[in-house]
Amino acid sequence: MSKIPQFVWDALAQIAGDLIKIVGHVVARRVQALFAAAAVSNPELQEPEVRELVDDIAENARIVVSEVVRMPIGDVFTMGPEDAARACSWVGVRQVVPIHHGTFPVLTGTPDDLRRHVAHLGIEVLELTPGQTAD
């Protein structure tokens, strides 16, 4: 059972969803603005094929921002696996990297616990070791 009251979760859900959308749009606009500035002095960048590619990159920025997220799951100083799973469902991620767990005995949340809580959501849990990257 979550230690956080439901009204707090409801407010955070709204904020998280809005924030993810805002970040995606900001990144996308920045990509398009940088391209527009470069195109002024480079006529070859004004070709329709190039413009289409930049638009695709901008659209992907809107999507990628919310596909992977890092979530703390330690359950003492941070949220636990159950609350992290709920937060993942709000932002509509495809993958989650569990963080802030297992470094001290008091941190009881595990990636397996998180995996169990997100299984019905179709979210993949990526257990990364230090220095490892994900595709």
Query: Which residue ranges make up each domain of the chain?
Result: 6-64, 68-125
pLDDT band per the 50, 70, 90 thresholds, residue 47: low
pLDDT band per the 50, 70, 90 thresholds, residue 70: confident
CA atoms of 110 and 133, how far apart (whole Å): 19
Smallest CA-to-CA distance from 110 within 66, 73, 61 is with: 73
What is the percentage of the chain residues whose pLDDT exceeds 70?
52
What is the percentage of the chain residues whose pLDDT exceeds 90?
20
Neighbours of 101 (CB within 10 A): 23
In the sheet that holds 68-72, the strands lie side by side as: 68-72, 95-99, 124-125
Read off the pTM. Answer: 0.56
Quote the tokens at residue 90.
Answer: 């709000």
| Residue bearing tokens 């994900």 | 134
CA atoms of 11 and 8, how far apart (whole Å): 5
pLDDT band per the 50, 70, 90 thresholds, residue 1: very low
User: What's the rounded mean pLDDT across residues 60-89?
Assistant: 78
